[in-house]
């Protein structure tokens, strides 16, 4: 995320390259207006707004970390996966769990507990913890009902423990689940990322 420290505007983009290389691209055209390369959308803001310099451009790194579903089956597998991330002491960690965990646990409470346990693992050294709610699914009424219960427990827990909570209740099964009735369709994927972005940018 690039933030303009003059007007607090924020741009979120994605890159698979080294973050520094991408950030340099944004800055290059601002530092050197004669540069022939086309300014990026973020750079345009700094070029077209009065009194803006490259120094007003702040980079706030957001890293997406995927867990490989096949290798992570238990909470302790998850702990092993998260440990090196926690060691790097990020400001904040958002935990988004798939609904597979619903099927494997005996009750909503147990499932919520497992997600809370992951949060507890990262809740140290001033890292702020946020839980992202389970997204609804239509393939199985029982699981859909359970997802709702789990979210209710999680929402309450997060409020009591001053953890963040990202609610995806603007995603509903009837509108947004694709034909397989399990995986989120394209419009949902963008709505899901929009929910994350809104949370991150505080809007
Ligand atoms: Zn600005």
Beta bridge partners of 177: 184
| Token pair in block for residue 118 | 């992951």
DSSP E strands, 19-133? 57-59, 92-96, 128-132
The Cα 45–Cα 53 span in angstroms is: 10
How many angstroms is it from 10 CA to the middle of ligand 1? 9
pLDDT averaged over 10-residue windows placed end to end, the chain, 203 residues: 92 90 88 76 91 92 81 77 91 87 80 91 93 80 87 97 93 58 61 88 79
Regarding whether 172 and 84 lie in a shared domain, the answer is yes
Regarding whether 135 and 100 lie in a shared domain, the answer is yes
How many angstroms is it from 45 CA to the middle of ligand 1? 6
Residue 70 resides in a domain: no
Residue 67 resides in a domain: no
The Cα 26–Cα 41 span in angstroms is: 8
How many angstroms is it from 9 CA to the middle of ligand 1? 6
Domain of 6 in residue numbering reads as 2-59
Regarding whether 190 and 134 lie in a shared domain, the answer is yes
The Cα 162–Cα 65 span in angstroms is: 23
Residue listed under structure tokens 């207006």: 33
How many angstroms is it from 199 CA to the middle of ligand 1? 21
How many angstroms is it from 183 CA to the middle of ligand 1? 38
Q: What is the DSSP letter of 7?
A: T
pTM of the complete model beyond 0.75: yes
27: three-class secondary structure by DSSP: helix
């Amino acid at each position: 995320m690039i933030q303009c420290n003059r007007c607090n505007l924020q741009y979120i983009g994605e890159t698979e390259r080294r973050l520094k290389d991408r950030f340099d691209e944004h800055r290059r055209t601002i530092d050197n207006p004669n540069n022939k390369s086309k300014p990026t959308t973020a750079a345009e803001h700094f070029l077209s707004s009065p009194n803006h310099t490259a120094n007003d451009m702040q980079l706030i790194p957001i890293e997406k970390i995927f867990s490989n579903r096949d290798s992570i089956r238990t909470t302790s597998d998850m702990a092993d996966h998260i440990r090196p991330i926690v060691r790097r002491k990020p400001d904040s960690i958002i935990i988004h769990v798939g609904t597979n965990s619903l099927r494997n646990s005996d009750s909503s409470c147990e499932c919520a507990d497992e997600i809370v346990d992951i949060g507890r693992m990262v809740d140290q050294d001033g890292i702020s913890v946020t839980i992202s709610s389970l997204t609804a699914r239509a393939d199985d009424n029982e699981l859909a009902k359970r997802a709702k219960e789990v979210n209710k427990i999680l929402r309450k827990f997060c409020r009591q423990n001053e953890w963040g909570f990202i609610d995806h209740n603007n995603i509903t099964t009837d509108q947004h689940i694709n034909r397989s009735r399990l995986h989120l369709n394209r419009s949902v994927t963008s709505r899901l990322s929009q929910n994350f972005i809104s949370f991150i940018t505080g809007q």
